[in-house]
């Protein structure tokens, strides 16, 4: 049963987030489906609740620019835009700091993170009370219409999430603008609540997503090979050689040079939470041991298995 919380229930919602539960909350754009961005298992729950087909990068929400920029490395453009448009409907994609504690699943294993400071007073109160970055896509089933009221959230997600804070209708009703500043040319990945003209008036011309700019690679699902390990990845492995590392699921195969088990119990949610960390660890450990590749055991397609397999196919794609 999903709790419907009044604005007075922010402390309850914050406690649920810290416990690893999912909480929907209002922003000035649309309602977001929040999880502790540092908790991989909680973030995996977002994908499960939404029925999201891919592990797309999620936006991490913060109460102010200082906490956001503690996780990413801003340049002068980012600092100027944050001073002008935060809190507000602008998301910035920036290089991830090496010391960031945001889980790799939140950023889809990329070396960038998408960050935003929402303006809605309830979102602000929740973020300050939670004391952790909150990953939050729109609070609807994947492919559905973005929700702008608590009733919209409950129509699609009742019973799938712990709670929703009812803050009334969203003022903007359109998702945030997403701007990639991880490359010299800024790229508009998604138009939204802050206009391109307003951004260009501050930092100059923008490239558009799909225009062949490097920044388009940061947009969800647009690149066949997103984060690919340096070692070749072999899918559907039912045996493993001594000169291969193993990405296991369920009972492990014997004989691997190095092994990372996504979930010995065969739990797709646990596997999703451990996927990106596992690929990175096997890549580094395999290179250290002089292995020739990584063998990935089959993962069933049910539930989050579809998203896991999509991500593995992208990691194994020619490059």
Q: For residues 154 and 250, state if they share a domain.
A: no
Q: For residues 150 and 204, state if they share a domain.
A: yes
Q: For residues 211 and 237, state if they share a domain.
A: no
Instruction: Give the number of other CB atoms < 10 A from CB of residue 70.
Output: 14
Q: What is the CATH number of the domain that holds 138?
A: 3.90.870.10
Is 228 inside any structural domain? no
Q: How many domains does the chain have?
A: 2
| Sheet containing 258-261: order of strands | 233-234, 293-296, 244-248, 258-261
Answer yes or no: is pLDDT of 222 > 60.
Answer: no
The pLDDT tens digits for 128-139 are 999 999 999 999
Lowest mean pLDDT among 29-43, 150-164, 168-182, 204-218: 204-218
Helices (H) and strands (E) in the chain, counts: 9, 15
Is 256 inside any structural domain? yes
| pLDDT the model gives residue 53 | 67
Question: Mean of the per-residue pLDDT values for the chain?
Answer: 90
| Contact between residue 59 and residue 106 where contact means Cβ atoms under 8 Å apart | no
Structure tokens at 148: 């702008």
Structure tokens at 236: 């559907």
| pLDDT the model gives residue 221 | 35
Q: For residues 42 and 128, state if they share a domain.
A: yes
Instruction: Give the number of other CB atoms < 10 A from CB of residue 7.
Output: 15
Q: For residues 69 and 185, state if they share a domain.
A: yes
* Structural domain that includes position 121: 3-218
| Contact between residue 60 and residue 114 where contact means Cβ atoms under 8 Å apart | yes
Answer yes or no: is pLDDT of 213 > 70.
Answer: no
Answer yes or no: is pLDDT of 223 > 50.
Answer: no
Q: For residues 128 and 209, state if they share a domain.
A: yes
pLDDT tier at 56 (50, 70, 90 boundaries)?
confident
The pLDDT tens digits for 59-89 are 999 999 999 999 999 999 999 999 999 999 9
Q: For residues 118 and 255, state if they share a domain.
A: no
| pLDDT the model gives residue 62 | 98
Q: For residues 248 and 212, state if they share a domain.
A: no
- The pTM for the full model equals 0.82
């Amino acid at each position: 049963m999903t709790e419907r919380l009044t604005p007075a229930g922010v402390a309850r919602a914050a406690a649920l987030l810290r416990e690893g539960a999912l909480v929907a909350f209002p922003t000035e754009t649309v309602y977001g489906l929040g999880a502790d961005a540092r908790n991989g298992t909680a973030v995996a729950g977002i994908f499960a609740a939404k029925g999201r087909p891919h592990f797309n990068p999620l936006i991490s929400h913060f109460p102010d620019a200082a906490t956001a920029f503690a996780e990413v490395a801003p340049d002068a453009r980012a600092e100027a835009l944050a001073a002008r448009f935060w809190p507000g409907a602008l998301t910035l994609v920036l290089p991830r700091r090496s010391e960031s504690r945001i889980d790799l699943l939140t950023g889809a294993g990329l070396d960038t993170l998408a960050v935003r400071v929402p303006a809605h007073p309830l979102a602000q109160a929740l973020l300050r009370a939670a004391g952790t970055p909150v990953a939050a896509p729109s609070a609807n089933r994947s492919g559905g219409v973005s929700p702008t009221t608590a009733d919209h959230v409950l129509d699609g997600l009742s019973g799938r999430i712990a709670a929703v804070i009812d803050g009334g209708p969203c003022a903007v009703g359109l998702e945030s603008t997403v701007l990639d500043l991880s490359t010299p040319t800024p790229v508009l990945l998604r138009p939204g609540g802050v206009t391109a003209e307003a951004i260009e008036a501050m930092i100059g011309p923008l490239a558009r997503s799909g225009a062949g700019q490097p920044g388009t690679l940061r947009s969800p699902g647009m690149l066949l090979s997103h984060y690919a390990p340096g070692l070749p990845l072999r899918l559907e492995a039912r045996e493993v050689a001594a000169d291969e590392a193993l990405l296991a699921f369920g009972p492990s195969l014997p004989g691997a040079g190095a092994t990372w088990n996504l979930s010995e119990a065969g739990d797709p949610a646990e596997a999703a939470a451990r996927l990106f960390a596992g690929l990175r660890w096997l890549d580094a450990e395999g290179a250290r041991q002089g292995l020739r590749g990584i063998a990935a055991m089959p993962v069933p397609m049910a539930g989050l298995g579809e998203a896991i397999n999509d991500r593995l196919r992208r990691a194994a794609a020619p490059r």
